[in-house]
Chains A and B, each alone.
Chain A
Amino acid sequence: KQEVTQIPAALSVPEGENLVLNCSFTDSAIYNLQWFRQDPGKGLTSLLLIQSSQREQTSGRLNASLDKSSGRSTLYIAASQPGDSATYLCAVNYNNDMRFGAGTRLTVKP
């Protein structure tokens, strides 16, 4: 069964800290992995897409890494800000089937 797990479920940090969110998946035969941000009551906003042949992708203060063989991805957020507070979800794409984790709820305190 293709499962996606995100740890921790919730995280609270003071403003300015660097932090890492984790995503693990049981089936390593992936096409790509995508990180999303979801604000309360809203849809998902795509942050980064990593193809299976890539090791990492960067966008501004965000850096996502992918280790397919170990079934893991991390999302690194540098110099966190209160505006980064949201739920972060990873989604693993298995051809026609995309599996989502339950997300990590991040709170950045001023």
Chain B
Amino acid sequence: EADIYQTPRYLVIGTGKKITLECSQTMGHDKMYWYQQDPGMELHLIHYSYGVNSTEKGDLSSESTVSRIRTEHFPLTLESARPSHTSQYLCASSEAFRNTIYFGEGSWLTVV
């Protein structure tokens, strides 16, 4: 069982609101990731991190930002939510890029 946690699991917010999706892992993994997945579609990488103070953009353009101040914590922030941000956001971590990747349960975001 992977020890990676996401909150909130479900959220409905209004357009223009600021939202932070939390992700924490207790496995001491250096590598962490955020993916976006629409229902029935493939996952798209939006951000990743090599370790503390490292953040990189993925191959899907995203208006979100991330931070990595502590190894175990990798929050994702949307400064001004729009309906196009409605999706499932999945956080993941791995010991190294070539190792097994573990996922959280996901955060379902609906922007109205």
Binding site for B on A (CB under 8 A): 4, 31-32, 34, 36, 41-46, 49, 89, 91, 93, 95-98, 100-103, 105
Interface residue B45 (Cβ < 8 Å from any Cβ of A): yes
Contact B42 A34 (CB under 8 A): no
Contact A102 B106 (CB under 8 A): no
Contact A43 B106 (CB under 8 A): yes
Main secondary structure of the interface of B (DSSP, over half): loop
Interface residue B90 (Cβ < 8 Å from any Cβ of A): yes
Highest count of chain A CB atoms <10 Å: which of B43, B45, B48: B43
Contact A32 B106 (CB under 8 A): no
Closest CB of chain A to B33's CB: distance in Å? Answer: 8
Q: How large is the interface on B (under 10, 10 to 19, 20 to 34, 35 or more residues)?
A: 20 to 34
Binding site for A on B (CB under 8 A): 2, 6, 35, 40-43, 45, 48, 59, 88, 90, 92, 97-106, 108
Contact A43 B45 (CB under 8 A): no
Contact A102 B98 (CB under 8 A): no
Contact A93 B105 (CB under 8 A): no
Contact B90 A43 (CB under 8 A): yes
Contact B103 A44 (CB under 8 A): yes
Residues of A within 8 A of B102 (CB): 46
Contact B100 A43 (CB under 8 A): no
Among residues of A, the one whose C-beta sits closest to the C-beta of B40 is A102
Closest CB of chain A to B64's CB: distance in Å? Answer: 18
Contact A101 B103 (CB under 8 A): no
Contact A96 B101 (CB under 8 A): no
Contact B101 A98 (CB under 8 A): yes
Highest count of chain B CB atoms <10 Å: which of A43, A49, A93, A105: A43
Contact A41 B106 (CB under 8 A): yes
In the complex, 10 of the A-B residue pairs with CB atoms within 8 angstroms, ordered by the A residue number, are: A31-B97, A31-B98, A34-B100, A41-B106, A43-B104, A45-B103, A46-B102, A93-B97, A97-B59, A98-B101
Rounded to whole angstroms, the CA-CA distance of A95 and B99 in the bound complex is: 10
Contact A102 B90 (CB under 8 A): no
- CB-contact partner of A102 in B6, B41, B97, B103, under 8 A: B41
Residues of A within 8 A of B2 (CB): 45-46
